[in-house]
């Protein structure tokens, strides 16, 4: 929805919408890259020379030989053929290609605006934060990949969570800028800000736990609901394990906490609806959040029961974007 008639404002608004779509796309592709175990197929950063995929058989063999040197191939994919390698290579290549497009698209339009709309230069500079964060995200991405090239058959789930978290930070900033440009009307009476902060904390924590779960392949354990193979607690841990720092490496513990935080978020949602009713707020602002959270819970359960089928797991990751942005919309209206 383009609401501005001023050329500068209209340009910025279109740019922000396209940035948001590109970020959602790369989160989606990044999730598929993870789900298809393709992230370690390109073992070098190749910031500039990796713009094109291998163009002949010799180059394909060269990249395949590089992949054969890492633990993932030696211990997991030792029987992989060249044609199978091409599949995982293209997933990671696509992920990196879109990242390059986003990087260029985050700065080149701003450079153009800086010289064309000289009266808006101070306003233009605030959008540079997006470009700087995207550059930082590129470094984090390589930092993540490096963790799976020497001693491990997979990337560190801590670095994976960091990589996803930065992506969501960038997405949130872009979305907030969009709301600013739309001049969204604020609530006349205010919701308790501490309550909203705590609610947001649990949403963010749930996203991080989801990244941990993906990095540890924890969704492949306990594929029943609402119990965990007939028990409330995982049967391969003790109660004390829930409180040990090293349990952040235990997929059973992480899945348990992911479930509990999910229930807690639903409880907070019910209370938020009560506050809307109590304050006679229009339900238009909260109805999307209700839909997003209940849909996310449903897809999460289906993902778990299905044994983490890629189609459901991908939808579950996209659902987290809808949950976060719909809640940010409420926070913005309350600001």
Find all residues with CB under 8 Å of 227, minimum gap 6, and list them: none
Overall average pLDDT of the 125-144 stretch = 95
**What are the tokens at 126?**
């605030």
Query: Which pLDDT tens digit goes with each residue over 212-243?
Result: 999 999 888 899 999 998 889 998 888 898 99
Overall average pLDDT of the 51-69 stretch = 93
Percent of the chain with pLDDT over 70: 99
Task: Report the greatest alpha carbon distance in the chain.
Answer: 69
Query: Which pLDDT tens digit goes with each residue over 299-313?
Result: 999 999 999 999 999
Report which of residues 48 and 140 the model is more confident about.
140
**What are the tokens at 148?**
């799976």
Find all residues with CB under 8 Å of 72, minimum gap 6, and list them: 37, 40, 148, 153, 154
pLDDT interval class at 62 (50, 70, 90): very high
Mean pLDDT of all residues belonging to the chain = 92
The answer, yes or no, to whether residue 280 has pLDDT greater than 80, is: no
Asked if residue 224 lies in contact with residue 236, where contact means CB atoms within 8 angstroms, the answer is no
Find all residues with CB under 8 Å of 57, minimum gap 6, and list them: none
Query: Which pLDDT tens digit goes with each residue over 63-88?
Result: 999 999 999 999 999 999 999 999 99
Asked if residue 24 lies in contact with residue 203, where contact means CB atoms within 8 angstroms, the answer is no
Q: What pLDDT score was predicted for residue 1? A: 55
Percent of the chain with pLDDT over 90: 75
Asked if residue 7 lies in contact with residue 15, where contact means CB atoms within 8 angstroms, the answer is no
Q: What value does the CA radius of gyration of the chain take, rounded to a whole number of Å?
A: 22
Overall average pLDDT of the 317-325 stretch = 96
DSSP state of 119: G
Q: What is the rounded CA–CA span in Å between residue 320 and residue 30?
A: 14
């Amino acid at each position: 929805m383009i609401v501005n008639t001023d050329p500068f404002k209209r340009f910025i608004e279109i740019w922000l919408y396209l940035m948001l779509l590109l970020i959602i796309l790369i989160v989606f592709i990044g999730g598929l890259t993870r789900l298809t175990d393709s992230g370690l197929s390109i073992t070098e950063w190749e910031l500039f020379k990796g713009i094109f995929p291998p163009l002949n058989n010799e180059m394909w063999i060269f990249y395949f030989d590089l992949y054969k040197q890492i633990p993932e191939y030696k211990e997991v994919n030792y029987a992989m053929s060249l044609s199978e390698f091409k599949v995982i290579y293209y997933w990671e290549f696509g992920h990196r290609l879109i990242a390059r497009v986003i990087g260029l698209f985050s700065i080149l339009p701003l450079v153009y605006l800086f010289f064309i709309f000289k009266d808006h230069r101070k306003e233009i500079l605030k959008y540079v934060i997006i470009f700087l964060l995207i550059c930082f995200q590129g470094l984090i991405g390589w930092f993540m990949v490096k963790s799976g090239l020497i001693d491990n058959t997979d990337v560190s789930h801590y670095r994976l969570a960091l990589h996803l978290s930065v992506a969501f930070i960038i997405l949130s900033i872009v979305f907030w800028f969009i709301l600013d440009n739309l001049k969204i009307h604020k609530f006349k009476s205010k919701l308790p800000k501490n309550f909203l902060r705590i609610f947001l904390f649990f949403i963010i924590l749930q996203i991080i736990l989801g990244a941990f779960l993906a990095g540890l392949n924890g969704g492949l354990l306990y594929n029943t609901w609402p119990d965990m193979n007939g028990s409330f607690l995982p049967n391969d841990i003790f109660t004390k394990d829930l409180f040990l720092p090293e349990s952040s490496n235990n997929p059973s513990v992480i899945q348990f906490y992911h479930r509990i935080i999910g229930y807690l978020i639903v409880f907070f949602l019910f209370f938020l609806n009560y506050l809307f009713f109590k304050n006679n707020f229009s339900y238009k602002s909260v109805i999307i959040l209700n839909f997003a959270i209940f849909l996310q819970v449903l897809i999460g359960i289906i993902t778990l029961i299905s044994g983490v089928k890629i189609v459901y797991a991908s939808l579950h990751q996209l659902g987290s974007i809808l949950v976060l942005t719909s809640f940010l919309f409420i926070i913005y209206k309350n600001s």
